[in-house]
Amino acid sequence: MDFYSILQEILSEKGLSIPEAARACGLSDSTLRSIITRKNKTVALEVAMKISKGLCVSLERLNGMKELGQKNNAMHPDEEKLLKDFRSLNSEGKKYILQTMQMAVMTYKEAPAAQKREA
C-alpha cells in the first residue's frame, strides 16, 4: 500500500478532515492535501514523524508494515472520550475548549518527577 492510501485510510478511521489532521500534525493543509492528491508513494521522514505523532499511529503502520509490539501511543479511555467529544463540537466550541484547556494546563500542570522529589 502506498503512503497516500494509508493516510486516507487512517483519516477515514479517525473521522478526520484534512484540515483537522493537518492541525493535529503541525503541518499545513496543503502538505496533507498534496500527499493525497498527488498519490505520493513516500514522504520525507520528518513529515512521516509529524503525521505519526499527530495522528497517534506508528511509523510502521504509515509505512504499510505490520505494527511491531504494543502500541506506545495508546490513549487512556478518558483521552479517547475527550478527543471524540472535541471532534463533535462546532468551531466555536472547539475554540472555547482550546482556550479553557490552555488555562487549565497553566494552572494545574503536573510538575516533572525531579521537581516533585525536591518539594
Q: What is the pLDDT along the chain (119 residues), one digit of tens a residue?
A: 899 999 999 999 888 999 999 999 999 999 999 999 999 999 999 999 999 999 999 999 898 886 555 445 566 778 888 888 888 899 999 999 999 999 998 898 887 655 555 55
What pLDDT is recorded for position 30? 95
HSE of 4, CA atoms in CB hemisphere, 13 A: 11
Same domain, yes or no, for 57 and 91? no
What pLDDT is recorded for position 10? 92
Tally of structural domains, the chain: 2
Q: Which sign, positive or negative, has the C-alpha torsion 31, 89, 96, 100? A: negative
Return the C-alpha cell found at 67.
505494527
Inside any domain, residue 68: no
Q: Look up the pTM and report it.
A: 0.57
Same domain, yes or no, for 47 and 97? no
For residue 53, count other CB atoms closer than 10 A to its CB: 14
Its domain, for residue 112, covers 77-118
